[in-house]
Structure 1
Amino acid sequence: MTAVESPKPSGPTRHRSYKALEPTRGGLVLRWFWLSAAAVFAFFPFYAMVVLSLKPGAAVSFPESLLPWGGIAFDSYAQVLSGQNIVLWLFNTLVYSLVSVVAVLLFSAMAGYAFAKKRFAGKELMFWSFLAMVMVPFHVTLIPTFLLIANLGGVDEYWGLIVPTLANAQAVFLMRQFIQGLPDELFEAARIDGASEMRIFLRIVLPLCKPVLATLGIFVFLWHWNDFLWPLIVAKSNDMFTLTVGISSLQQQDVPLSVMLAGSVVALVPIFMAYLIAQRYVQEGVTGSGIKG
């Protein structure tokens, strides 16, 4: 007995089925409407922050205060940039964020390369034990970490602010997933040509990892720039405050709302610029590190 093959759908039938999956004009309009509403809802807090920061000395009343005209002035920005130690706080935040980004990317790339392409005893156990750190909240280790840094003399010091944040398990995981997708033939050919492991890492691994490095750099920079709890605990003097801690301290000084919002706008600009610089790598890096491996 022979199996009876079911007739294959004709070309026009398949074409009609594909056409049926295409969204209708009404569906496109509805999708555009909901996406536009979500964009406006997400953008509104930033709009309100900028508009209110441009109206110094004015009583806040809604919705009149949110209108982009009437009494616009830059006095709050002049006050923020000329006083309140905002420039020093900005410098501290830049040091904290940029040094942390460079160190985290370097260490996570090294660890990711070792876990992805090197063979050594206990590699899998070590990797999954390190990855288990993701499940431990930072607040659980906050007190022991502070006691260790305090005993080593790291309170009110840049290194005490930076060092505890360098062991980033998420960054190591993403780097390992991305490097696993690189062909082994590249590394074998380099070793045959006599290249050392450091040269392979610098000349092959890092150039090929530019997308995921840019993505991680944005995430790590954003996290450190907005970090509040750890800088609040480690920085004891006003001269060591970061922007988040410094702007928060303004609430205790009876500073006008427009000045606080102007400081928030100043703190937002570097994040926005960093994303604009590396945005073309973000999608490629997330896709490559999240799906491969």
Structure 2
Amino acid sequence: MTAPAEAALRRRFTLANLSLTALLAIVSVITVTPFVLMFVVALTPEGAPTLPAALPDRLTFDNIERVFSAAGFTRWTINSLVYSVVSVVLILLTASMAGYAFAKKRFPGRDTLMWSFLATLMVPFQAMLIPYFVLVSEMDGIDTFWGMIVPTLANSQAVFLMRQFIRDLPAELFDAAKVDGASEWRIYWRIVLPLTRPILATLGVFVFLWHWNDFLWPLVVAQSDDMRTLTVGLATLRTETVPLAQIMASAAISVLPCLVVFGVLQRYLVNSIATTGLRG
């Protein structure tokens, strides 16, 4: 390749990279702007002009203090944490066990059972809402944590992802463990769980976000004010005479746990996505 042609190719690549960078910057600004405006409105003093009329001349944490002192908000936050954290732990535990069984164990009907279980992804949750509610109601699970958590544990997507990840683990590790006399529980605890930390962290982020932002199922099951989750509780504020700044403050507070979870586990999330394409 001649020098002028090589220089032209470099300029073309440089222009393409700059264009892609500019496009990503524009998309990032559009994505982040609503969150920035939400925090600005949340920190606007009471009675001061706010968006879109004007930017506040000063910011204050008074609205956040009022939100925490309001009756019910702290309880809603605790309920959401219990609902999300317990669901993450149980789903990761059951999905990893099922994924290990479907990936490394041989039993009659294994593939049929797996694909039948996976077919439930095509059934929308709204179609199963009434049967779930009737079943939980018959078992006295209305207005209880277990009534909210248990019906969400059969996560076929999590089981499928765990199966795909565990299936690529070297079979020699499991054969060597069996030769050494390790039990199935010991193999699962000492081999499967440590080697699947990247996918467990990735699923943990997704499952936490799904449950933290879940609205429909907690709305149906948690019928008393003491059992409401944060999403349901914030929705009730729209029917009351609550200032917009306090509603935005409540929404801003509800976003923070998601940012913390993603910030803590983003290294595993990125590594899992990056290595997915390397698995044959």
CA contact (8 A) 1:175 1:289 kept: no
One of 266, 272, 279 as aligned partner of 1:285: 272
* In structure 2, C-alpha distance between the alignment counterparts of 1:131 and 1:29, rounded to whole Å: 42
**TM-score scaled by length of structure 1:** 0.89
The residue aligned with 1:161 is 148
Please list the CA deviations of residues 93-144 of structure 1 after superposition, one character each: whole Å capped at 9, or x if unmatched.
0000000000000000000000000000000000000000111100000000
The residue aligned with 1:20 is 9
* In structure 2, C-alpha distance between the alignment counterparts of 1:21 and 1:147, rounded to whole Å: 65
- Pick which of 259-268 and 50-59 moved more: 50-59
Please list the CA deviations of residues 171-193 of structure 1 after superposition, one character each: whole Å capped at 9, or x if unmatched.
00000000011000000000000
**Sequence identity percentage:** 49
* In structure 2, C-alpha distance between the alignment counterparts of 1:18 and 1:190, rounded to whole Å: 57
Pairwise CA distance, 1:75: 1.4
RMSD over equivalenced CA pairs, Å: 1.9
Larger Rg: 1
The residue aligned with 1:260 is 247
- Pick which of 19-28 and 54-63 moved more: 19-28
One of 165, 170, 174 as aligned partner of 1:178: 165
Distance verdict in 2 for CA 1:176–1:95, change over 3 Å: same
One of 26, 29, 38 as aligned partner of 1:40: 29
The residue aligned with 1:107 is 94
Pairwise CA distance, 1:35: 1.2
CA contact (8 A) 2:38 2:248 kept: yes
One of 34, 47, 51 as aligned partner of 1:57: 47
Opposite residue 259 of structure 2, the aligned amino acid is: F
Distance verdict in 2 for CA 1:233–1:225, change over 3 Å: same
Pairwise CA distance, 1:159: 0.3
One of 9, 14, 20 as aligned partner of 1:31: 20
* In structure 2, C-alpha distance between the alignment counterparts of 1:158 and 1:88, rounded to whole Å: 13
Opposite residue 52 of structure 2, the aligned amino acid is: F
- Pick which of 79-88 and 271-280 moved more: 79-88
Please list the CA deviations of residues 145-193 of structure 1 after superposition, one character each: whole Å capped at 9, or x if unmatched.
0010011000000100100000000000000000011000000000000
The residue aligned with 2:110 is 123
Counterpart secondary structure, 2:125: coil
**TM-score scaled by length of structure 2:** 0.93
Note if 1:202 corresponds to 2:192: no
Pairwise CA distance, 1:85: 1.4
Distance verdict in 2 for CA 1:22–1:140, change over 3 Å: farther
- Pick which of 204-213 and 69-78 moved more: 69-78
Pairwise CA distance, 1:86: 1.1
One of 210, 222, 225 as aligned partner of 1:223: 210
Distance verdict in 2 for CA 1:81–1:103, change over 3 Å: same
Note if 1:239 corresponds to 2:233: no
Pairwise CA distance, 1:63: 5.2
Distance verdict in 2 for CA 1:244–1:42, change over 3 Å: same
